[in-house]
Amino acid sequence: MARAAGFVNINLDLMYGLPGQTLESWLSTLEQAIALEPTHLSCYALTVEDGTRLRKDIGRGDRTEPDAVLQNAMEDDAVRRLAEAGFERYEISNFSRAGYACRHNLHYWRGDDYLGLGPSAQSYLNGCRFGNVEDLEAYHRALEAGRAPVAESAHLSPEQRRREAVVFGLRLIEGINIAALRSGTRDGEVVDEWQRTLHRLRDQGLLEERIGWIRLTDQGRRWVDSVAVELM
């Protein structure tokens, strides 16, 4: 339907590790998605957040926790099958055909500026992060009065920006530019400690270094959050 309406750049969001989902049904979902010929696919593993109905169901024994081993197998199959179908994995959860990587997401992950418009929209400009008011009427009143409809803002320090570069950059298959990270920290002791951590993670097989860049290995992508905490 979207293609018939004239859209040529089409994304599909898929989830795996769902209750009752098997490896076979996940593979079937992938095949159906590929057959639709999208230019971009996002594949997200189910995570159970506190306070959700699913978390409560699990607590009562009505549902089971997602099977980490099965989720890993589903991820492996997605990476393999999508590569066979001509999709490049450019971020942990995202795959695209050549030239169709999601530009606005790349802006987030690379720490570039972006401007959000509308209630609740988030923006990041010149090292400052700010969010608009949530209420639609309050948003309109602010605009009519000639005021910026900003509810909160924060100017990130160089160290905060470095930390975010680690968190977001590790998700990219290209990884993180080492020189850019070091430039955000002028404390020699911090740099030395960070370098020791980098070497340890590399020795553990979680990171690899290539011509001034560090990136996660296939094993490291399973532990992206833990690796990010170590480097922060």
Same structural domain, 18 and 95: yes
Query: What average pLDDT does the chain have?
Result: 89
b/e map 145-181, b = 16+ CB within 10 Å: eeeebeeeeeebeeeeebbbbbebbbbbeebbebebb
Using the 3D structure, point to which of 87, 122, 155 is the last residue of a domain. Answer: 155
Share of the chain above pLDDT 90, in %: 52
Same structural domain, 111 and 96: no
Same structural domain, 122 and 189: no
At 205, give phi and psi (nearest 5°). Answer: 80, 15
Range of the domain at 170: 158-231
Q: Cα dihedral angle (63, 68, 73, 75), rounded to 10 degrees?
A: 90
| DSSP letter, residue 120 | T
Using the 3D structure, point to which of 118, 133, 155 is the last residue of a domain. Answer: 155
Q: What is the CATH classification number for the domain harbouring 176?
A: 1.10.10.920
Same structural domain, 213 and 142: no
Residue 5 lies in a domain: no
Residue 52 lies in a domain: yes
**What per-residue confidence (pLDDT) applies to 48?**
86
Residue 148 lies in a domain: yes
Number of structural domains found in the chain: 3
Share of the chain above pLDDT 70, in %: 94
**What per-residue confidence (pLDDT) applies to 35?**
96
Both tokens assigned to 127: 């090292």
Q: Which of 134, 156, 38 is nearest to 86 (CA)?
A: 38
Contacts of 23 (CB under 8 A, 6+ apart): 70, 73, 74, 77
pLDDT tens digits, 157-212 = 887 887 888 888 889 999 888 777 666 554 444 556 777 888 888 889 998 888 88
Using the 3D structure, point to which of 101, 129, 145 is the last residue of a domain. Answer: 101
Q: Mean per-residue pLDDT for 116-129? A: 94
**What per-residue confidence (pLDDT) applies to 51?**
86
Half-sphere exposure of 62 (CA within 13 A, CB side): 6
Same structural domain, 189 and 142: no
Contacts of 85 (CB under 8 A, 6+ apart): 34
**What pTM was computed for the model?**
0.82
pLDDT tens digits, 55-72 = 888 888 888 888 889 999
Same structural domain, 117 and 179: no
Asked if pLDDT for residue 133 goes beyond 60, the answer is yes
**What per-residue confidence (pLDDT) applies to 183?**
63
Same structural domain, 128 and 187: no
Residue 3 lies in a domain: no
Both tokens assigned to 191: 């740099």
Residue 4 lies in a domain: no
